[in-house]
Amino acid sequence: MRLSATKLRQNLYNILDEVIEKGLPVEIERKGKILKIIAEKPRSKLMNLEPHDTIVGNPEDIISIDWSKEWQEEENL
């Protein structure tokens, strides 16, 4: 939906509620430029994690380790 700034001003709260409910952006034309009102999607907490290089070597080697041969409980106590 594209509106003029005047139409937006006349019906601001209804337009904002519609953007929230339907999730569709609204474009406003002002001085020859197009502005958008968009409902922001909540960001996943996982997106805040920073990647770390913690594996030294080939990760495939870790997957194929046979821990039954490496760890004998009586010997390692």
pLDDT of 3 over the 70 cut: yes
Q: What total number of domains does the chain contain? A: 1
Tell me if 5 is assigned to some domain: yes
Tell me if 61 is assigned to some domain: no
Tell me if 22 is assigned to some domain: yes
User: How do residues 64-73 score in pLDDT, each as one tens digit?
Assistant: 777 776 666 6
User: How do residues 27-61 score in pLDDT, each as one tens digit?
Assistant: 999 999 999 999 988 888 888 888 887 878 888 88
Q: What is the CATH number of the domain that holds 24?
A: 3.40.1620.10
Tell me if 59 is assigned to some domain: no
Tell me if 71 is assigned to some domain: no
pLDDT bucket at 25, cuts 50 / 70 / 90: very high
User: Residue 29: enclosing H or E segment and its boundaries?
Assistant: strand 26-30
